Amino acid sequence: MSRRWLYLMFLGLLIGHGLASETIPPIHILTVDDVINPVSAEYITESLKGAMQRGAQALIIQLDTPGGLDKSMRLIIKEMLNSSIPIIVYVAPSGSRAASAGTFITLAAHVAAMAPGTNIGAAHPVAVGSGEMGKEMAEKVTNDAAAYIKSIAEQRGRNVEWAEKAVRESVSASETEALQQKLIDLIAPDLNDLLKQLNGRKVVTPAGERTLQTVGAALQRVEMSLRQRLLSMLADPNVAYMLLMLGAAGLFFEISTPGVVLPGVIGGISLLLGLYALQLLPVNYAGLALIVLAIILFIAEIKVTSYGALTIGGIIAMILGSLMLFDAPPPLPGLSLWVVVPSTLLVAAFFVFLVGAALKTLSQPPYSGREGLLQKVGVALTPIDQKQGKVFVAGERWDAHSEAPIPQGAEVEVVQMDGMTLRVKQKAR
């Protein structure tokens, strides 16, 4: 066979491989390694809609989560169960977990996979945002969650009995146990191995049966948008707390010393961002009320002589309110003491010292302008009577008059200003 024919055959193979690759729809991949909250729910659901619109053959969710909010979890699962493209949930890398809400999401996938050294389970519902649940309410919530996870497991052909135990008894399983218990479909040490195992797998979706062609398919990673990254940062209780404190201090400083502008602008923006963050977090309103009470006590300390009692009360109320503010049970992230204590002391110092000094300055008599001349002491340049005279006050010559005659050279005190003429009296010796 001539070199020409060999070259044409090789070229044909390359062209054929290229055409085949172009006909294989891409696979979209996204990474969720945080709490399941409204931001992560939006990230997953928007990515799923985008994958369907762009003709992706599947969506892989690489998951590592301690759990999250029930409402956000149900929104994600609702979209997953009605997806027209296969969804693969991959608990990875090693050391990751799909706990609580992550268990529901993993079981709801068309294909569930885990990396070595990962675990799944502990899906018992906990009280968020309103303290401990009563016995009857806890039973209702648990029964609801158990029924929900059983329906998901039945629809996906997974172990219904174990799924119910994950809710009622908080059982967990390693990746090998999960495979043995038929909770997941495969174990893959990395993404490349996962794609090899997925190739040729048939998946049933509401749009019909799909056959995955993962070998040779283009991988497109879907990142969070700038807006979602910002909202994800605000969903951190420590960031939200600091924004609230900065907003309260900035606005109060602007109100107490109007005209400074910058503290008011920064405080207003910070407070609005902090209030928005409260919508993303489980808030205990008793804690919020204690923080408001603490600020009131700090302000009262400026006006009332309490010898520090109000300040101490404010600090105690601020610390207790801060610790109660975000009612997030483990393993969800809470407010750190390393943020609460320094923030409380700084806010207390701000209100007691800085704002107190500003208010004292405002209460002092003016030193300039028309009002600043009152009670100033000067010298009579000429004899002064009820009609006319000249005085030297505050470095300037002024027309002046007096109800009682004042001799030239006598010390005078300004008692009133009539237009551009000063009314003075002789200063007593």
Q: Which of 211-215, 355-359, 418-422 has the highest mean pLDDT?
A: 211-215
- 178 or 281, which is more confident? 178
> How far apart are alpha carbons 80 and 348 in whole angstroms?
49
- Reply yes or no on whether the pLDDT at 220 is more than 90: yes
pLDDT band at residue 360 using 50, 70 and 90 as cut-offs? low
Residue 129 has pLDDT above 80, yes or no: no
The region of weakest confidence among 34-38, 47-51, 213-217, 285-289 is: 285-289
Alpha-carbon distances, residue 32 vs 44, 237, 275, 326 (angstroms): 8, 18, 25, 22
Determine contact, residues 311/304, Cβ cutoff 8 Å.
no
User: Confidence class of residue 12 from pLDDT cuts 50, 70 and 90?
Assistant: low
What is the model's pLDDT at position 357? 59
- Coil, strand or helix: which one is 98? strand
Q: Which amino acid is at 390?
A: K
Average pLDDT (341-354) is: 72
Residue 333 Rama label (left phi>0; alpha psi -120 to 50; beta)? beta
pLDDT band at 198 (very low <50, low <70, confident <90, very high): very high
Between CA 246 and CA 346 the distance in angstroms is 10
Taking residues 18-35, report their average pLDDT.
79
Q: Distance of CA 299 to CAs 266, 291, 310, 318, 320, Å?
A: 20, 13, 9, 13, 18
Identify the CA nearest to 77 among candidates 44, 46, 100.
44
Q: How many CB atoms lie within 10 A of CB 11?
A: 10
- Per-residue confidence at 21, pLDDT binned at 50, 70, 90? very low
300 or 398, which is more confident: 398
Rounded Cα–Cα distance for residues 367 and 327 (Å):
52
Prior bond to 263 cis, omega within 30?
A: no
Question: Which of 100, 44, 38 minimizes the C-alpha distance to 277?
Answer: 38
CA distance 180 to 312: 59
Structure confidence at residue 19 as a pLDDT band (50, 70, 90):
very low
Mean pLDDT for 50-71 is 92
The pLDDT of 357-380, averaged and rounded, is 63
Per mean pLDDT, which of 69-78, 240-249, 362-371, 381-390 is the most reliable? 69-78
Beta strands per DSSP E along 275-420: 377-380, 390-393, 396-401, 411-418
The torsion angle over the Cα atoms of residues 157, 162, 167 and 170, rounded to 10 degrees, is -140
Q: How long is the chain?
A: 429
> pLDDT value at position 363?
53
Highest mean pLDDT among 158-172, 328-342, 402-416: 158-172
CA distance 216 to 35: 33
What is the spatial distance between Cα 184 and Cα 170, in angstroms, rounded to a whole number?
18
- Degrees (nearest 5) of the Cα angle 154, 148, 90? 70
pLDDT at 133: 57
The DSSP call for residue 403 is S
Residue 128 phi/psi, 5-degree rounding, is -130, 125
pLDDT 10s digits, 91-117: 999 999 999 999 999 999 999 999 999
Half-sphere exposure of 117 (CA within 13 A, CB side): 7
Catalogue all structural domains in the chain, each as residue range(s) with its CATH number. 3-225 (3.90.226.10), 236-363 (no CATH), 369-426 (2.40.50.140)
Task: Tell me the pLDDT band of 162, cut-offs 50, 70 and 90.
Answer: very high
Whole-number pLDDT of residue 86: 96
Whole-angstrom Cα distance, residue 312 to residue 334? 25
Pick from 26-35, 42-51, 389-398: least confident:
389-398
The Cα 15–Cα 3 span in angstroms is 18
According to the model, what pLDDT value does residue 130 have?
A: 43
Q: Is the dihedral of CA 81, 52, 99, 279 positive or negative?
A: negative
d(CA 246, CA 129): 23
The mean-pLDDT minimum among 32-46, 291-305, 404-418 falls in 291-305
Range from 105-119, 309-323, 328-342 carrying the lowest mean pLDDT: 328-342
pLDDT at 354 over 70: no
To the nearest whole number, what is the mean pLDDT of the chain? 82
Reduced to 3 states, what is the DSSP secondary structure of residue 335? coil
Q: What percent of the chain has pLDDT over 90?
A: 37
3-state SS assignment for residue 80:
helix
In this prediction, residue 110 carries a pLDDT of 96
More confident residue, 62 or 333: 62
Residue predicted with more confidence, 2 or 350: 350
Residue 338 or 146, more confident? 146
The pairing of strands 186-187 and 119-121 is: unpaired
